[in-house]
Amino acid sequence: MSRDIAVLGAGMHPWGKWGRNFVEYGLAAARAALADAGLAWNDVQYVAGADTIRNGYPGFIAGATFAQALGWSGARVSSCYAACASGAQAIDNARARILAGLCDVALVVGADAAPKGFFKPVGGDRPDDPDWLRFRLLGATNPIYFALYARRRMAVHGATLDDFAAVKVKNARHGLANPNARYRKEVTAEDVRESAVVADPLRLLDICATSDGGAALVLTSMEFARRHGISAPVRIPALSTVTPTFPKTVLDLPDFATDSAMTVPEPAEEVGRGRLVGETRPFRSAIAHAAYEEAGIGPEDLSLAEVYDLSTALELDWYEDIGLCEPGGAEELLRSGATALGGASGGYRGVVPPGRGCPVNPSGGLASFGEAIPAQAIAQVCELTWQLRGRAEGRQVTNAQAGIAVNQGLFGHGSAVIAVR
């Protein structure tokens, strides 16, 4: 049985700091997605909302909030919160309902009006909450985690500050042509090096901002798409939301002491054709490779990837996690130009086919957008959709056929979405 669903519409509200209610951003994105699909609001049978959490109504009930803003129509709704994977879980909810035959047309919406500066805990004392504790007990903001990962990469794989800066330079160049990006300015490696140190070794330009923004998708059954004359839509054949496998050997937010391999040995790993045979990979790698297994493709089949570049160093980790190169190969892959639009990859010998490359974050990534938590996983799939249609003007990946979008949230949440044409 095919697990494909069709992406008929994609829409966004530009990222920035607009100072308005997040519902406005989601409403604009939803209307844009419906117009892109050529459908009316009354055609939608199911609304999946990705939640933003800002102390109660309306963030906790985003599905109904967006349905009300569009006009009560009797559509069924759901709301979900999975930190940075909220948007992908909303897509998953809609996909499951479509595949179950319970609806033909679903609207997925996420939007946020993020606070200024770095994220902090929602108000109130919660001493049994590990996320509250890591802020209040340890003073560990998100950039401190990003810096720890960066230091690990430098120590284990020899990454340099110039490598981190090169990621920002690449993504800023990609974002220049994206009308939805918040930052559309060329950046040099010197600009990155001279920006303020936030959490050593990361500079201000190594770390993504917090933003306002919205994104939406109209998803349908393949039968509905064909009935409406769309014979070859962009399709989603796979979506992964796997959780970590015990023992965990790399620290993940919000925990500081999760290296269970200190007392339990790591299980043997079996790998075939660059993909999992046994589910024993580290968490981020497992997220992506479970999606590959479901879609029946591998990293060598990708035309592009949208990865969760909370920091420049984390983007390099993602190259390895999604299988573009072996562990320790991200710096060489970056330097070869294989992850840049129009870059040559002839000098790299790895998973990425020589001469073709696999542009990473052609949208500009979070480096150009910033974080709007419930919207960003949906926005990644919007970018895949436009790329696979050949309509990503100014940043188009040549002959794009398959793409992956990945991100990781708090508390064991993460997602990988594969889209194909």
Which token pair is 271?
Answer: 């790998």
Environment class of 301 (CB within 10 Å of its CB; exposed 0-12, middle 13-18, buried 19+): middle
Write the pLDDT tens digit of every residue in 209-229: 999 999 999 999 999 999 999
Rounded average pLDDT over 73-82: 94
What separation in angstroms does the CA of 408 have from each of 98, 188, 235, 267?
Answer: 25, 28, 22, 23
DSSP-assigned beta bridge partners for residue 84: 82
pLDDT, averaged across the chain: 90
Sheet holding 105-113, edge to edge: 76-80, 46-50, 105-113, 212-220, 5-16, 234-240, 414-420, 402-408, 304-306
The domain ranges of the chain are 5-117+210-227
Q: 345-404, pLDDT tens digit by residue? A: 556 667 876 667 899 999 999 999 999 999 999 999 999 999 999 999 999 999 999 999
Task: Quickly tell me which residue has 């981020």 as its tokens.
Answer: 284
CATH hierarchy code of domain 5-117+210-227: 3.40.47.10
99 membership: H or E segment, kind and range? helix 86-99
